[in-house]
Structure formats: structure tokens, C-alpha cells
Amino acid sequence: QLQASGGGLVQPGGSLRLSCAASGFSLADYAIGWFRQSPGKEREYVAHIKRNVMDYSDSVKGRFTISRDNAKNSVSLQMNSLKPEDTALYYCAVSLYNSGNVYRFRRPEEYHYWGQGTQVTVSS
């Protein structure tokens, strides 16, 4: 089971830290991805981490940082310099595939289990 938390309302230029906590299995062994979805739009890839490899979409690169805390069995997404276009429902997900192909984990269909989502709203 995955539990996403940390969303909220923030002004443009502000920061939020999302967390994805797992129960029943260890996140350390799998790729963990963050995706987001706005009303009327398709689910969009944000970032993922698999072991020591991190990858980001071009839209968040340099502003967002994904990290893993194995002791807490969680993955965090630090979001800085937030923009109104970052407003969305953010989901974390886990992929059970054992692959070194970074681009594979940019696709939502490669993930097996999803958290319930946490809302991020960037507005003044």
C-alpha cells in the first residue's frame, strides 16, 4: 500500500514537500515514480527514483528533487519555485519491473500500484 501526503495550497515561487510512504513491502527494491494529473489532462510523468538513479521530466528539472529514505520506507518529492502550472493531483506509484531503462519508468503503464493522490494548488 502507498500513501501520498504533503499537498496543499502555496503561492507561486513557494515550496512543498510530498511524501510517499509504503507499507507491506520495501521501497528500496523498486522504482518509485511521481505523476500528476490536472482536470481534462492525461496523467503526466514528474520524476522517478530507482536505487541511486533519479530522473525528471523537463518541466520540473532543476526545481524538483526526488529522494529516498530507506529507514522510513518512503520517497519524497521536494518541489521548489512552484508555478501555477504545477497545480495538479500528485500520485506516487511503484513499478515491480527490474529494468535499467530510465525511459521505461516515465510511462504510467509500467507501474503496478498507486497511492491515492495528494492535491497541490499553486495560486496567489
Least confident of 3-7, 69-73, 74-78: 69-73
Higher pLDDT, 82 or 29: 82
Q: Is the pLDDT of residue 25 over 90?
A: no
Nearest to 105 by CA among 66, 62, 63: 66
% of the chain at pLDDT higher than 70:
100
Q: Is the pLDDT of residue 102 over 90?
A: no
Q: Is the pLDDT of residue 115 over 90?
A: yes
Do 74 and 81 touch, CB atoms closer than 8 A?
Answer: no
Beta-carbon contacts of 6 under 8 Å, excluding residues fewer than 6 positions away, are: 16, 17, 18, 19, 118
Q: Enumerate the β-bridge partners of residue 95.
A: 31
